[in-house]
């Protein structure tokens, strides 16, 4: 009998589950390498006090499918450090990241390449690379952090450029088109206004969508006539709560999942739409900007209600596609072109097959991803 929230190995993995402990600086770290059939394990480093091996396994497995679906030469992996990033100083954070890198040295970069995730960004990826003296040990590094060989330079492509949010916007446009809905004037709610949510909102607004609601930890900001993304970004830059937006209606955070919108983009943490609230979801389309924002059994229930869902490992693949572009030494302009092409192609393939067959999009996407991994495992 399967034990809930325990890693159960299957034909795909995980191949390695590693726990490391450091006494100075003091922390516990985890690395899950799920599958290496397609290439070196790729996945970000998450900083959170309550991380569990099972949660990291779920995230690593998602990376396996994501890398496969976008035909990237990477396997799936995920790393985590069990600390609260809000409770450590920048100096302590640097020491922890670099100590973690050295503890993972036997696996990096042969079996694992790091990347940004919750609690880490371009600076942390630079520290990670510097600790090992290996430029390709991480991706998502600062754009001015370069490796030059014989006059040819490869530079970092930080996720702060907005590749993931850009990809979410591209996936949204494809989904709207397949539903024969016009994105121009469409009402969009963005739950989470971090790196993914901000860029998704910005690019969707540029495409003509109306951003009617956004949410951060303090609550939901709602205006049925539309919010100014630029004003929201100004509040964020000033480190003010989005609830300070002038003239908007302020609702509890969880209400953003219940608004009557054309598109809902959960772009923060996992399992935000769940057994308790899924029956109140009114959006016609959900585009998953976050990793695992909806349990699979709840996705199926929403699909049965007629809600079209673009799964996380389809919609939010811009970050790992950007990592691939950085790994290959591409420019920011080339990276965005590659992200757009791969996201649109994958979203089209998954949703067209889903709508034609009547099977939910995650099920279809998993079939496509598993086919490629199985072929690689047999070769």
Structure tokens at 362: 């995650």
Give φ, ψ of 17 to 5 degrees.
Answer: -125, 115
Q: Do the beta carbons of residue 105 and residue 114 sit within 8 Å?
A: no
Q: Among all residues, which ones are annotated catalytic?
A: 78
Q: Do the beta carbons of residue 368 and residue 350 sit within 8 Å?
A: yes
Inter-axis angle of helices 122-132 and 90-103, to 10 degrees? 50
Q: Do the beta carbons of residue 73 and residue 102 sit within 8 Å?
A: no
């Amino acid at each position: 009998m399967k034990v809930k929230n325990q890693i159960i190995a299957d034909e795909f993995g995980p191949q390695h589950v590693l726990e490391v402990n450091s006494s100075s600086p003091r922390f516990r770290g985890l690395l899950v390498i799920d599958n290496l059939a397609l290439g070196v394990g790729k996945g970000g480093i998450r900083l959170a006090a309550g991380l569990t091996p099972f949660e990291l396994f779920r995230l690593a497995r998602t990376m396996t499918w994501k890398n496969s679906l976008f035909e990237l030469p990477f396997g799936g992996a995920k790393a985590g450090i069990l600390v609260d990033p809000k409770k450590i100083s920048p100096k302590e954070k640097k020491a922890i990241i670099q100590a973690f890198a050295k503890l993972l040295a036997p696996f990096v970069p042969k079996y694992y390449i790091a990347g940004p995730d919750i609690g880490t960004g371009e600076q942390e990826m630079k520290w990670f690379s510097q600790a090992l003296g290996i430029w390709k040990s991480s991706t998502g590094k600062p754009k001015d952090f370069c490796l030059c060989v014989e006059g040819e330079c490869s530079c970092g492509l930080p996720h702060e450029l907005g590749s993931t949010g850009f990809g979410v916007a591209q996936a949204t446009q494809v989904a709207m088109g397949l539903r024969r809905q016009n994105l121009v004037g469409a009402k969009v709610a963005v739950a989470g206004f971090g790196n993914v949510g901000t860029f998704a909102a910005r690019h969707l607004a540029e495409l003509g969508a109306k951003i009617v609601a956004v949410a951060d930890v303090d609550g939901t900001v709602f205006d049925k006539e539309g919010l100014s993304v630029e004003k929201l970004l100004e509040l964020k830059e000033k480190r003010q709560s989005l609830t300070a937006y002038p003239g908007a209606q302020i609702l509890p955070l969880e209400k953003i999942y219940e608004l009557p919108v054309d598109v809902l983009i959960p772009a923060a943490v996992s399992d935000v739409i769940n057994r308790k609230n899924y029956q109140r979801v009114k959006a016609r389309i959900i585009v998953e900007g976050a990793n695992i924002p909806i349990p699979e059994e709840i996705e199926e229930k929403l699909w049965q209600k007629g809600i079209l869902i673009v799964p996380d490992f389809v919609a939010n693949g811009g970050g790992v596609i950007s990592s691939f572009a950085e790994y290959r030494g591409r420019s920011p302009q080339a990276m965005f072109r590659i992200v757009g092409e791969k996201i649109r192609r994958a979203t089209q393939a998954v949703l067209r097959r889903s709508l034609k067959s009547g099977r939910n999009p995650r099920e279809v996407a998993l079939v496509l991803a598993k086919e490629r991994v199985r072929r690689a495992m047999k070769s």
